[in-house]
């Protein structure tokens, strides 16, 4: 049976675009959670605007690609199942994006920047979100060009964009007939644990301290303990190596 290179490339392209959308969605959510707090600033509003626009570009690109693939009647059943799975991933991402856009509108309106006394909530977060935004935009460093009126001007744009996203999702529901409950996930429960990317505070080959909850930043302390343990372990190894060498040579 001839290999359908075109379909494979279509699938890979789709997956890459979905990964990109997924990344931007996660970063956008992170930025929205900083709104109204002491991390909020003119820069954050600009980061939100840029990330949001990027998310929408990716959304449109994904939708176009996926609808084209799903409309193709000549694809095999396996392929079809796979595209439906990707479609569900896409709609879930859009769900999260839509809610976050609406929330950012609400919180942005409640906490304007240009007021005589800002009453931003003192949440304990004081660092900047610029690296998160840079990750979303896939750049090294963010450039900031907006002026002081960004918070009010952008909110108007945001309202329009929310309406556009709502409309897009309605159209998607009408035109693409995919039954979500029929889709089976590829990953099993606990699949996230098999990730090769280390996302905790642990360093290599270390005793992991299991704690029920971050008591007074116990997580931070646990991470630090892990680092110390790692250093001591490496030091012991080095000393053992040196002693062994000396024993052999003397």
Partner 1 sequence: SFINADFNIFRYHVAVMCLENIMERVIVSMQDPDMGMKMRNQRLLITVIPHAMTGRDIVDWLIQKYTITEEEALHIGNFLVKYGYIYPLKEPRNLCLKQDETPYRFQTPYYWTSTRWPASELDYAIYLAKKNIRKQGELIEYEKECYNALHKRINHTWDFVVMQAREQLRASKQRRKADRIVLECQEQAYWLINRPPPGVMDILEQGPDRRNVANTRVQLVSGQMLAIFVKYCEQYQDHDPIMQGCLPSNPWITDDIMYWNMNSETVTMPTKLRVERWSFSFMELLNDPLGRKELLTYLEKEFSAENLCFWQACEEVRHGEASKIAAKVDEVYKQFLAPGASRWVNIDSKTMEKTLEGIKHPHRFVLDDAQMHIYFLMKKDSYPRYLKSELYKNLLAKAIVPQETKKSVFPFMRRQRHSSPSPALVTQTAEDNGKAKPSAAKANAGTASQI
* 147 in contact with partner 1 (CB under 8 A): no
CB 229 within 8 A of CB 207: yes
* 144 in contact with partner 1 (CB under 8 A): no
Could you say which of 189, 204, 246, 248 contacts partner 1 (CB under 8 A)? 189
* 125 in contact with partner 1 (CB under 8 A): yes
**CA separation, residue 41 to residues 55, 65, 131, 204 (Å):** 21, 36, 15, 37
Size of the site for partner 1 (CB under 8 A): 75
Give Cα 249 to chain centroid, integer Å. 55
* 29 in contact with partner 1 (CB under 8 A): yes
Could you say which of 4, 11, 26, 80 contacts partner 1 (CB under 8 A)? 26
- Kindly indicate which of the ranges 148-156, 169-177, 178-186, 233-241 contains the residues binding partner 1, using the contact rule CB under 8 A: 178-186
Residues 171, 52: Cα–Cα separation, whole Å: 20
* 229 in contact with partner 1 (CB under 8 A): no
- Kindly indicate which of the ranges 71-79, 166-174, 205-213, 235-243 contains the residues binding partner 1, using the contact rule CB under 8 A: 205-213
Q: Would you put residue 217 in left (φ > 0), alpha (ψ -120 to 50) or beta? A: left
How much of the chain is helix, strand and coil, in % rounded to 5?
A: 65, 0, 35
- From the list 76, 41, 68, 31, the residue with the least C-alpha distance to 150 is 41
Q: In angstroms, what is the minimal distance from the CB of 237 to partner 1?
A: 24
Site string for partner 1, 206-225 (x = CB under 8 A): --x-x-xxxxxx-xxx--x-
Q: In angstroms, what is the minimal distance from the CB of 130 to partner 1?
A: 9
* 192 in contact with partner 1 (CB under 8 A): yes
Which CB, 121 or 239, lies closer to partner 1? 121
Residues 19, 21: Cα–Cα separation, whole Å: 5
Binding residues among 54-93 for partner 1 as defined by CB under 8 A = 85, 88-89, 92-93
**What would the two tokens of residue 250 be?**
């003397």
């Amino acid at each position: 049976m001839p290999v359908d290179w075109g379909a494979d490339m279509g699938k890979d392209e789709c997956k890459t675009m979905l990964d990109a959308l997924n990344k931007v969605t996660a970063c956008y959510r992170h930025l929205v959670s900083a709104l109204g707090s002491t991390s909020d600033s003119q820069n954050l509003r600009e980061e939100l605007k840029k990330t949001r626009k990027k998310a929408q570009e990716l959304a449109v690109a994904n939708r176009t690609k996926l609808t084209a693939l799903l409309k193709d009647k000549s694809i095999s059943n396996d392929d079809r199942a796979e595209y439906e799975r990707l479609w569900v991933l896409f709609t879930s991402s859009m769900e999260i994006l839509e809610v976050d856009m609406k929330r950012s509108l609400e919180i942005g309106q409640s906490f304007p920047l240009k007021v005589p006394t800002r009453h931003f909530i003192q949440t304990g977060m004081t660092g900047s979100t610029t690296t998160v935004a840079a990750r979303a935009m896939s750049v090294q460093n963010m450039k900031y060009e907006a002026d002081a009126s960004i918070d009010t001007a952008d909110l108007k744009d945001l309202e329009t964009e929310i309406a556009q996203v709502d409309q897009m999702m309605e159209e998607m529901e009408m035109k693409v007939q995919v039954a979500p409950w029929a889709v089976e996930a590829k990953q099993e429960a606990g699949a996230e644990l098999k990730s090769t990317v280390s996302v905790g505070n642990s360093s290599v080959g270390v005793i992991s301290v299991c704690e029920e909850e971050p008591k007074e930043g116990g997580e931070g302390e646990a991470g630090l303990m892990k680092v110390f343990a790692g250093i001591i372990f490496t030091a012991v190894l080095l000393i053992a190596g040196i002693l062994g060498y000396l024993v052999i040579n003397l």
